[in-house]
Structure 1
Amino acid sequence: MKTDAFALRHIGPRENDLQHMFKTIGVESLDQLIYETVPNNILLKEKLDLEPAISEYEYLAHIQELGKKNKVFKSYIGLGYHPTIVPAVIQRNIFENPGWYTAYTPYQAEIAQGRLEAILNFQTTVIELAGMEIANASLLDESTAAAEAMALLFDVRSRDQKKSNVNKFFVSEEILPQTLSVLQTRSTPIGVELVIGNHETFDFSSDFYGAILQYPGKYGQVNDYAGFIAKAKASEIKVAVAADILSLVKLTSPGEMGADVVVGTTQRFGIPMGYGGPHAAFFATKEEYKRSMPGRIIGVTIDTNGNRALRMALQTREQHIKREKATSNICTAQVLLAVMAGMYAVYHGPKGLQYIADKVHASAVTLADALNKIGVYQTNTSFFDTIAVKAEASKVKAIAEKHEVNFFYVDADTISISLNETTSIKDINQIVAIFAEALGKEKVTVSQLTNESMVPENLVRKSTFLQHDVFNNHHSESQLMRYIKKLERKDLSLNHSMISLGSCTMKLNAAAEMLPLSMANWNSIHPFAPVEQAEGYQIMLKQLEHQLNIVTGFAGTTLQPNSGAQGEYAGLMTIRAYHLSRGDNHRNVCLIPASAHGTNPASAAMAGMEIIVTKTMENGNIDVEDLRAKAVEHAANLSALMVTYPSTHGVFESAICEITQIIHDNGGLVYMDGANMNAQVGLTNPATIGADVCHLNLHKTFAIPHGGGGPGVGPICVNEKLVPFLPSNPIINVGGDQAITAISAAPYGSALVCLISYGYITMLGAEGLTDATKYAILNANYMKVRLEAHYPILYSGEMGRAAHEMILDCRAFEEKGIKVTDIAKRLMDYGFHAPTVSFPVAGTLMIEPTESEDLGELDRFCDAMISIRKEIEASSKEETNNIMRNAPHTLAMLTTDTWTFPYTREKAAFPMDYIADNKFWPTVRRVDEAYGDRNLVCSCAPIEAYM
């Protein structure tokens, strides 16, 4: 046994399990199974041209050496990113804890109450600091949140007869540069016209539906926007405000000024900069806009017993339901980071946050005063943490970098300096000394922080915030550690049992891949630091791009999209740019099979495309003749086909090359959704099947953890003709020579977690990556054979094999009064998270075991499903008081004096022997979905509720 081989640790089945698995499936070898699963004409002829695999020990030594090439300067760049103090209790117990980072999106609320409570704390923090009525469970970054605000206001304008055809959106010139770039990307395809200007000279009589302001402005100026917002309201113009969350502790909230939407990032609430992400953005608005809100909302409801419970409310997966009519394609959140930011607010409480904000502000005022004394004058009339000073930028830059300090150089004689919670008096004196040296002046020494304020009295926050018990009761490390553990115990994660979610690929997130995220020389770099200071990052990111090019067979990659849905959008926007570059402005038709992910049509609509749905046949495959007919019919305007491969039904369709050729013959390009890439790596690739661009879910195929619903990363890989159009960034030079504007805020998106995928590929190498794919297919087919005697399997390949996932048809059980939801809830009693429920076919379960699960775990899951099948058989439609309909069963139910059910306590909680050894208890009974939607509450109960 080669104990230093990473593949041995990552891949589940052992060598001595294989013959049993082969015999069960009915094959002689793994190669025979692959031959019977993957069409021969698309199999790769040669192995992947990647560096040989290295061991975990070698990788960690390598990543530490590479990290030394990153220079961690003192960062005062600002622009939405700040050095922060990550409380050690949060770093150790959440950020580095698989109980938190390996959980899935909380669609199964009964086994996710801990995460849901943590996100409710986050939402409460946002609502109260922003002064709004409702907030969501986080978005991807501040810039994309601002774009979502623009789109929401565009959507709700139709409620106003006078504004229903208005399309101008005002953008303050104070907006962050990266936000402006993302707004430019997102506005044009949906028909919004951006007008950038000075909010003080804005003409309210113009034909505008909305506006966005930055608070404080990009270089620190704090403006009183109450007058602007009042005038906008009088002209029926709705206003969004992009706000710095720490400043809202000290400043009047945008909600109190009358804002309609407030967005921003919570990065400075204890999240490392990480060269750009991941960070949890926030989005808060008015209750009346709740049905148009992007992303997820965590709401309060009740369970079967009437007890308080939490769940995802309202538009859960709304883009999957609304498809091309969705106003957003957001399918994810930044849950792990939102949990950390919410816990930062819990740990510090209102008084602690006030102390931090006051200290940051006092540091900025003290610095401004000291610089003033040496003749360096500050130009902001009011500021929170950022000053703009006049000095010769080139001289200051040379001396600052010699002292390992970064400022932001606005122009030749203006320098922006943003202070943060890590700034000390020693740091302030270093900054003053740098300017004194640059100007040849005698330096001034600061000995204490000033008590002066540079916030006008009318903008000082008077309203209270975070008065709830949870924010005032966990300020010692013991208290917070126990609170975090209490919540963790309520959640089922991969550290307890397999999570066999079809299309979501919940594989092992190896500790060796995760460790570098805690290293300071990786997580402390500002995304807009000069690239020569991030040499380690530049090497790692370029190598990861190269690795992904090899895996996909493509010529270029951008890592910028920070979710799978963002990747879809980015891919379609490069196709759009390609057609525009050739003068084919009319090419806007996108063909999408009926079986596609719901985000596909939502993304195409956001990219300004006309969506034509093509049929699928009874066997689940794309109807090639219908596709051909529609491609020919729309040939003059055909832009793209969006196709998932293997299909969402878990099948390698043999007609794929014919399908892509039809599109090319009719002038279109092919976008491949990479959600199921875990069945392709090393065996085939998007280039081989004839695609032009694909997105990859690094949080699926390439081992970034799901984090309870995020972070995700969705890079796109493209062929040579699309390389010129890869997205840019306004501050760091990235992208092609005809680059589209930015897709997300940071040049490399969520760069910190890209380390995980780099580690995954580097430690597996070509052989290990290919084996991972083969074993994913092996595990799926083993489960298929074990389960198909008990459940109908909906679709199979031409030789009867599944790809990496399969669909169990549970619709017939409704004759017994049992719905697929009942199976999902009963699985909790067996210690398992449900597979994907009712997608892509209503009334089904889609199962994907991944390569990481061993034979014992596969058998436990199959045994549980077979046992449940017997319980279904014993059920009847007339008897609603049965074990399936009552599931899940909680510890409170089992330990009451009275037992009113027609089955035993043992049968309810311990239906199989293995459960007693490692019992997981759901903490609430089945949640009432409808009640939660009718009575939406998305923040902590008011203080009175605790009295």
Structure 2
Amino acid sequence: MVNLNLAAESQIFKAQANSLAKTAVNQSTDIFAQRHIGVNEQQIKQMLEILGVDSLDALIEQTVPAAIRLNKPLQLPVAQSEVAALAKLKAIAKQNQVYRSFIGRGYYNCITPAVILRNVLENPGWYTSYTPYQAEIAQGRLEALLNYQTMIVDLTGLEIANSSLLDEGTAAAEAMSMSYALCKTKANAFFIDAGCHPQTIEVVKTRALPLGIEVIIDDYASFDFSTPIFGALLQYPTTDGTINDYRAFIEQVHQAQALATVAADILSLTLLTPPGEFGADIAVGSTQRFGVPLGYGGPHAAYFATKEKYQRQVPGRIVGVSQDVHGKPALRLALQTREQHIRREKATSNICTAQVLLAVIASMYGVYHGAAGIKAIATRIHLLTATLATGLRQLGYEVTNQSFFDTIRVNTGENSAAELIQIAAHNQINLRWLDHKAIGISLDETTTEQDLINIWQIFAGSKDLPFDRELINSQSTTIKQQQLRTSSYLTDEVFNRYHSETELLRYLHQLETKDLSLTTSMIPLGSCTMKLNATAEMIPVTWAEFGNIHPFAPLEQTQGYQELFNELETWLGEITGFAGISLQPNAGSQGEYAGLQVIRQYHQSRGEGHRNICLIPESAHGTNPASAVMCGMKVIAVKCDRHGNIDLKDLQSKAEKHKDNLSALMVTYPSTHGVFETEIKSICAIVHQYDGQVYMDGANMNAQVGLCRPGDFGADVCHLNLHKTFCIPHGGGGPGVGPIGVMSHLVPFLPATPTTPKDAQPIGAISAAPWGSASILVISWMYIAMMGEAGLTQATKIAILNANYMAKRLEPCYSVLFKGESGFVAHECIIDLRPLKKMARVEVEDVAKRLMDFGFHAPTVSWPVIGTVMIEPTESESKEQLDRYCDAMLAIYQEAKAIANGDIDPEDNPLKNAPHTAESIICSDWSHPYSREQAAYPAPWTKEHKFWTTVGRINNAYGDRNLICSCTGMDAYSAS
């Protein structure tokens, strides 16, 4: 009986323990959602009272149309605590096998200096800032990007470089498009040397197809120029490592009135003659090996350099030097007339982003090591490669390339390449299969002497080698004298000053403090969703199991990544209502392009390849028409009514008119005007009536998660901005991820990966790596895992509540331009500032710059309506922060009113002179008719914590007239 009682008591104890554990889990899973969402229950009630709504659910019922509302919970796993989610993800990560990879193909192991790893990559002061459109509060990031551009210009030997592109493959595709646009002949063919990286060739082919461009892949040495071409792409060194002399070929390219693009390994250019010195018009490549982890393919910063005469055709962004109102050198984005929001369907590129965070890391790698340090790294790699080749020759193998940098091609003779690769894998080493009798081996910064010995032993089939270890370090260069670089590089002061960790640490901190990020205050940008990027979400990014995996490692070594992809695809499919998800697009613009390509492929599969009309509302994102044109479509604009909604009559009329050729409608939901259009189902039905497909821009998915699903109300394709709704940080303008979701009939056409079913009809490669920027997908996985269904849905509701609360608070002074039928907005609102111009000649730019004096980033300025700002507070901000922002906007209105009343000078006032720098405040000759205190401390909280801009208002016109895009001439700025 005693034993039975003890057993019973044990069972009772276990039951109580399980109950307590379950309660603890439930409590802990609530914690993250409460930390992510910035307002508490009491504050929610206060905000609802101001809105005159009884409950949060009542607000949602009046805001989200009943016809599309999701009336069931999302089928997602139960929310986990930060600790539990990290533990589960760690278990997934451990399924990845981190082998020593010598695969190459443009991807290399490298060393991220610890000072850069901790103070840039892992630092929210760098990764939570926004694109530097408001340049006065982005001077640190812009300087780092100017360093990047200078580094690229120096190493490539060309005259101008942009501030980075998405990856080497897309950079090469952009070079092709630019060459095509500049072509003065009727040539329609683009030549690609067979020695280019395979993934680059695939991305370029994808881009060429819808434009009707013929791609010729051949050996450059035997190409017959009787075929007219508009451009050519060459790899330097080639994908199997050979260093070719392209001078004569490029001369022939120029004789054909075509442009020559060279895809060059950036590290090799410290030893090799740079492309600009042997005639290249464009140079592209990756800066991944400058301190950026492999990350199974990304994110990495690609570079793009060209001649100065082509500056207005360069894709992406360029940082330029201008000056502020005080005559002080200042930085900003140059040549912004190239942006898609202005050129729209005339744009030759839809790239509206960069890889800023990764470009900053690469630039700081250059700053830290300097010319001598980087050359030493390159020299060591090259000499180790030469040593490896010598040893393999002594083992009886033929190394076919006589001149190489870090990669050799080894003929395996009687041995099977596959068998040797299998033996290497058994020793946790990855080699590259070139063909049945050839293997590629690429060395890198992390290669050791022991690695060489291990590779020799694999090829020898024995641990005993027929030569002495003294072979190591006894080699000389294999690079021919005429191929060696003789010009200098990285001579500017910035590359020669910060070589100690102390100096670099202080430089990084100095730059960081010049930037406003989410560590400073809220950034309420409409359509950009600058929400919390939680630390727990960011931690796994730098785990070795995710960071040190080569994108072309065998699938059996990446089972952790495959599980991560499968779970994330399943979750995103459930959230959106789509049957299939592709994670490959590595930016929102690439998601747009991929989605439209899928639609194009679908029509072609049905024998309707002639369908090329794309209907786009007048209010659409500028990348929409640019993406459509890149996919070979003709853009037809659809009118919007006075409420900002799509004009159904105009849509019906144009769909009917183009019914035989209608391909797609591109629509943003909630609308670009920040409203849930009630007729969205009817809009989709009209397009489907004429066999068109509905492409939904997912920029505003932050207002839908848990409340409605695009797959349920008519969308066929939708791209998602994981760097917005799903918490991947903006990184100062990049990285981003733009996966697409599709309905079941479009699943066979999704971009190909190594796991694509054989019966599919995939479109070509969208990014260079099979799963795009794979390493940062862990961030979105963590966010969804920790939020769970209830947390995600609540976040959406609060995002809508916060936007409506701010709109209501601002209404006494500013009108909200568009509202839904019930008088509410979605997750963002457009505030009309045009009356200020009539009242006091105050421009929207004046308001944006004055907000900096209050310690805030401006909302989205003059888009989608000129003279307005679009505010999106997100769910992560506290009520205190929302109120402060509203107080700042209301105070600015009062300043404008004082101008209108004649109390303040219409030209010399706090608005026109904003932002005010510390230097301008302390100067002895203060002559303004307002006080220094009003200028610098316009609100109580600015006295508690003041963010100072380091430059005054920047003269953009001066910068465009005097374009300087590298450190040359920056002595005054560098000394500031």
TM-score by length of 2: 0.95
For residues 399 and 605 of structure 1, the distance between their equivalents in structure 2, rounded to whole angstroms, comes to 49
For residues 59 and 449 of structure 1, the distance between their equivalents in structure 2, rounded to whole angstroms, comes to 47
What per-residue deviation string (whole Å, max 9, x for no partner) do you get for residues 207-231 of structure 1?
A: 1111110101011111011111112
The one-letter code of the counterpart of 1:144 is T
**Which deviates the most, 313-322 or 215-224?**
313-322
Deviation at 1:450, TM superposition (A): 3.0
Aligned with 1:187 (options 208, 211, 223):
208
CA contact (8 A) 1:777 1:804 kept: yes
CA contact (8 A) 1:704 1:757 kept: yes
1:19 aligns with 2:41: no
Specify the SS of the correspondent of 1:452: coil
Specify the SS of the correspondent of 1:826: helix
Which residue of the partner structure matches residue 900 of structure 1?
927
1:744 aligns with 2:771: no
1:812 aligns with 2:835: yes
Deviation at 1:324, TM superposition (A): 0.4
Which residue of the partner structure matches residue 96 of structure 1?
122
Say if 1:451 and 1:445 are closer, same or farther in 2 by CA, change over 3 A: closer
Say if 1:506 and 1:446 are closer, same or farther in 2 by CA, change over 3 A: farther
Aligned with 2:629 (options 605, 609, 622):
605
Specify the SS of the correspondent of 2:35: helix
What per-residue deviation string (whole Å, max 9, x for no partner) do you get for residues 59-112 of structure 1?
A: 111111111111000010000100000000000000000000000000001100
Which residue of the partner structure matches residue 611 of structure 2?
587
Which residue of the partner structure matches residue 291 of structure 1?
312
1:357 aligns with 2:378: yes
The one-letter code of the counterpart of 1:801 is F
Aligned with 1:421 (options 431, 440, 445):
445
Which residue of the partner structure matches residue 393 of structure 1?
417
Aligned with 1:761 (options 784, 805, 825):
784
Which residue of the partner structure matches residue 846 of structure 1?
870
What per-residue deviation string (whole Å, max 9, x for no partner) do you get for residues 612-646 of structure 1?
A: 00000011000001000100110000000000000
1:204 aligns with 2:225: yes
Aligned with 2:954 (options 903, 918, 927):
927
**Which deviates the most, 393-402 or 866-875?**
393-402
Which residue of the partner structure matches residue 940 of structure 2?
913
The share of aligned pairs that are identical, in percent, is: 56
1:791 aligns with 2:814: yes
CA contact (8 A) 1:303 1:926 kept: yes
Which residue of the partner structure matches residue 33 of structure 1?
59
Which residue of the partner structure matches residue 671 of structure 1?
695
Deviation at 1:451, TM superposition (A): 3.7
Deviation at 1:363, TM superposition (A): 0.8
For residues 441 and 467 of structure 2, the distance between their equivalents in structure 1, rounded to whole angstroms, comes to 18
CA contact (8 A) 1:373 1:444 kept: no
Which residue of the partner structure matches residue 873 of structure 1?
897
For residues 473 and 148 of structure 2, the distance between their equivalents in structure 1, rounded to whole angstroms, comes to 31
Say if 1:651 and 1:456 are closer, same or farther in 2 by CA, change over 3 A: same
For residues 632 and 203 of structure 2, the distance between their equivalents in structure 1, rounded to whole angstroms, comes to 15
What per-residue deviation string (whole Å, max 9, x for no partner) do you get for residues 466-509 of structure 1?
A: 00000000000000000000000000000110000000000000
Specify the SS of the correspondent of 1:688: coil
CA contact (8 A) 2:166 2:302 kept: yes
**Which deviates the most, 42-51 or 498-507?**
42-51
CA contact (8 A) 1:809 1:845 kept: yes
CA contact (8 A) 1:205 1:235 kept: no
Say if 1:845 and 1:302 are closer, same or farther in 2 by CA, change over 3 A: same
CA contact (8 A) 1:528 1:732 kept: no
Which residue of the partner structure matches residue 494 of structure 1?
518
Specify the SS of the correspondent of 2:927: coil
Deviation at 1:762, TM superposition (A): 0.8
For residues 529 and 535 of structure 1, the distance between their equivalents in structure 2, rounded to whole angstroms, comes to 11
Deviation at 1:769, TM superposition (A): 0.7
CA contact (8 A) 2:421 2:432 kept: no
For residues 231 and 901 of structure 1, the distance between their equivalents in structure 2, rounded to whole angstroms, comes to 63
Say if 1:167 and 1:902 are closer, same or farther in 2 by CA, change over 3 A: same
For residues 41 and 661 of structure 1, the distance between their equivalents in structure 2, rounded to whole angstroms, comes to 14
What per-residue deviation string (whole Å, max 9, x for no partner) do you get for residues 265-323 of structure 1?
A: 00000000000000000000011111111000000000001110000000366111100
Map of 1:435-474 to 2, 5 A cutoff? 435-437=459-461, 442=466, 445=469, 448-474=472-498
For residues 83 and 28 of structure 2, the distance between their equivalents in structure 1, rounded to whole angstroms, comes to 11
Map of 1:614-633 to 2, 5 A cutoff? 614-633=638-657
Map of 1:358-757 to 2, 5 A cutoff? 358-391=379-412, 392-437=416-461, 442=466, 445=469, 448-729=472-753, 737-757=760-780
Which residue of the partner structure matches residue 136 of structure 1?
162
Which residue of the partner structure matches residue 153 of structure 1?
179
Which residue of the partner structure matches residue 252 of structure 1?
273
Specify the SS of the correspondent of 1:654: coil
For residues 440 and 798 of structure 1, the distance between their equivalents in structure 2, rounded to whole angstroms, comes to 81
Map of 1:49-198 to 2, 5 A cutoff? 49-157=75-183, 160=184, 163=185, 165-198=186-219
Say if 1:445 and 1:451 are closer, same or farther in 2 by CA, change over 3 A: closer
The one-letter code of the counterpart of 1:104 is Y
Deviation at 1:441, TM superposition (A): 7.1
The one-letter code of the counterpart of 2:503 is Q
The one-letter code of the counterpart of 2:383 is A
CA contact (8 A) 1:120 1:938 kept: yes
For residues 295 and 707 of structure 2, the distance between their equivalents in structure 1, rounded to whole angstroms, comes to 33
CA contact (8 A) 1:728 1:736 kept: no
The one-letter code of the counterpart of 1:331 is C
Contiguous gaps of at least 5 residues in structure 1: none
Say if 1:512 and 1:892 are closer, same or farther in 2 by CA, change over 3 A: same
CA contact (8 A) 1:135 1:285 kept: yes
The one-letter code of the counterpart of 2:378 is A
CA contact (8 A) 2:312 2:338 kept: no
Say if 1:933 and 1:707 are closer, same or farther in 2 by CA, change over 3 A: same
For residues 434 and 603 of structure 1, the distance between their equivalents in structure 2, rounded to whole angstroms, comes to 48
Deviation at 1:736, TM superposition (A): 7.2
CA contact (8 A) 2:156 2:269 kept: yes
Which residue of the partner structure matches residue 242 of structure 2?
221
For residues 441 and 277 of structure 2, the distance between their equivalents in structure 1, rounded to whole angstroms, comes to 28
The one-letter code of the counterpart of 1:710 is G
CA contact (8 A) 1:732 1:747 kept: no
Specify the SS of the correspondent of 1:58: helix
CA contact (8 A) 2:28 2:81 kept: no
Say if 1:37 and 1:233 are closer, same or farther in 2 by CA, change over 3 A: same
Say if 1:542 and 1:396 are closer, same or farther in 2 by CA, change over 3 A: same
CA contact (8 A) 2:457 2:463 kept: no
For residues 909 and 762 of structure 1, the distance between their equivalents in structure 2, rounded to whole angstroms, comes to 43
Specify the SS of the correspondent of 1:818: coil
For residues 518 and 120 of structure 2, the distance between their equivalents in structure 1, rounded to whole angstroms, comes to 14
Alpha carbon RMSD of aligned pairs, Å? 1.5
For residues 773 and 285 of structure 1, the distance between their equivalents in structure 2, rounded to whole angstroms, comes to 44
